[in-house]
Chain A
Amino acid sequence: MQVPAPFEYERATSIDHAISLLSRRGSSARLVAGGHSLLPMMKLRLVNVEYLIDINDLHGELGYIRVEPAQIRIGAMTRHRELLDSLALLAVVPIFRDAEQVIADPLVRNRGTIGGSLCQADPSEDLSAVCTTLDASCVIRGPGGERVVSMTEFYRGPYETAIDPAEMLVEIRIPLRPHGSSAFDKVGRRAGDWAVVSCGAAVWLDRGVIVDARVGLAAVGPNTTGIPEISRALRGRPPSEELYAEAGAIAGRSCTPATDQRGSEEYKRHLAGELTRRALRRAVARVEDPVA
């Protein structure tokens, strides 16, 4: 029987309450949202939590998707299922639906949250690649107020983030620019599994020329990282198959995958290249035709 080690349990009734509990308990405390990353880790004794603060009652306060003219704001307690079902999100960043369709399974998506996924900081986590691709920033609140960090600053390494013990992630902000679209693709061993490699792409066009492009990869190194060299190579050029191939070649050689039970390093580099090509192709097609 897999059961977590003993801990104390308390429910937070507001964001401020959660932060005050965290401040009092220090690093022995952890927040639990959907629990689909943390509880398995606790069962396996990979994480030792003495004091568990349940923030599910904050879903009313932190479960939202607000599409504004220049940005999207997503509350940290927004569940995968809500991201998958959101038509507002689909209209501006279709990459979310692409990714959510292949994250775990419907039951897990009913519980898991975007905030929990990002805070888990698993290098294979698909939403991390999505947020990296979209140049998202994370709003972190602590006893002293709020601060906003980029995805690059947010990830410190596998399972490590910039969030201090007395802080919590409250919101994810995604900048919106006109004439752009996005896509996500993933290869897994079986339905609902972690990625062998997954890849997000976002592009912005102006009169047939790429103004900007971003690619984010998961499961090919210690962090889900964007590849700035691809952005530099694509800017100012019209989209073409040759250009996607060039971007794919950069992706294949820029990442640092490790051989493991999901595949060899060589295979993962191949996937990084191929998925980069596919995601870019689809993102570009969607700029003209949103249902592509």
Chain B
Amino acid sequence: MTVNGDQVTREIEARLLLVHFLRDDLALTGTHWGCDTSNCGACAVWLDGEPVKSCTVLAAMAGGHEVRTVEGLEQFGQLDVIQQGFMQCHGLQCGFCTPGMLMTARALLDRQPNPTEPEIREAISGQLCRCTGYASIVRSVQWAAAEEAGTRTATAHTADSAVKSASSGARADEG
């Protein structure tokens, strides 16, 4: 299969799940192994351009296909805009759900560059954040959408000041 643009070939057991293949065989541990029951979405990766839950896909089923993991978001040392959004707007706390959230959010912005808040919430509805930081995650995706559209000037102030006050402890988390 192709993983983040690289061709990889391995002899594997038929029952090996994609999430374990990525983490244990390829050492791509950015993809998190969470609930194992296709509920939490921490293991979300792209399969042929669409996010899927890699705990419920056999590695063998992905053979010959294109897989993209969270490691594949960064290009030439430059973080993807969605990653920048999560940094700017405090989109992660413990970070466990983050790889899945990033992959799903990136897929959303590719399909719908200017999503509404309900569209963002729908897109990440297959994922759980145990820190319950959903409000910040939604803001992060909105930041990234605005950044990509080149319209962030209007929202930059709000986003940046939110980050500042959150880090100084002046603002309770809304998540």
Contact = CB atoms under 8 A, between A and B. Distances in A.
B53 A108 contact: yes
A81 B122 CA distance: 13
A282 to B, nearest CB: 21
A70 B137 CA distance: 47
Best-buried of B13, B20, B61, B125 by chain A (most CB within 10 Å): B61
Interface residues of A, number: 28
Contacts of B61: 32, 35, 54, 56
B57 interface: yes
A1 B17 CA distance: 11
Contacts of A35: 56-58, 61
Given A6-B13, A107-B51, A110-B50, A36 B125 contact: no
B37 A2 contact: yes
Contacts of B123: 106
Contacts of B47: 111
A107 B58 contact: no
A81 B61 CA distance: 19
Contact of A191 (B14, B38, B53, B125): B125
Interface in A1-48: 1-9, 32, 35-36, 39-40, 43
Contacts of B145: none
B15 A7 contact: yes
A36 B15 CA distance: 15
B60 A9 contact: yes
Given A106-B51, A192-B125, A3 B17 contact: yes
B24 to A, nearest CB: 11
A115 B13 CA distance: 27
Contacts of A192: 125-126
B44 interface: yes
A279 B91 CA distance: 39
B126 A43 contact: no
A105 B50 CA distance: 13
A209 interface: no
Interface string A101-134: 0001111101100000000000000000000000
Contacts of A36: 38, 56
A208 to B, nearest CB: 37
Given A35-B58, A54-B61, A56-B61, A108 B38 contact: yes
A82 to B, nearest CB: 11
A110 B107 CA distance: 12
A8 B125 contact: no
Nearest to B59: A9
A285 interface: no
A52 interface: yes
A6 B14 contact: yes
B38 A110 contact: no
B15 A111 contact: no
Contact of A104 (B50, B52, B126): B126
B135 to A, nearest CB: 17
A104 B39 CA distance: 9
B36 interface: yes
Given A3-B16, A56-B61, A106-B126, 7 more contacts: A3-B17, A3-B20, A6-B15, A40-B37, A106-B104, A107-B104, A111-B52
13 contacts: A3-B15, A32-B61, A35-B56, A35-B58, A40-B38, A43-B37, A54-B61, A105-B126, A106-B51, A106-B104, A106-B122, A106-B126, A111-B53
Interface of B: 13-17, 20, 36-38, 41, 44, 47, 50-53, 56-58, 60-61, 104, 122-123, 125-127
Interface of A: 1-9, 32, 35-36, 39-40, 43, 52, 54, 56, 81, 104-108, 110-111, 191-192
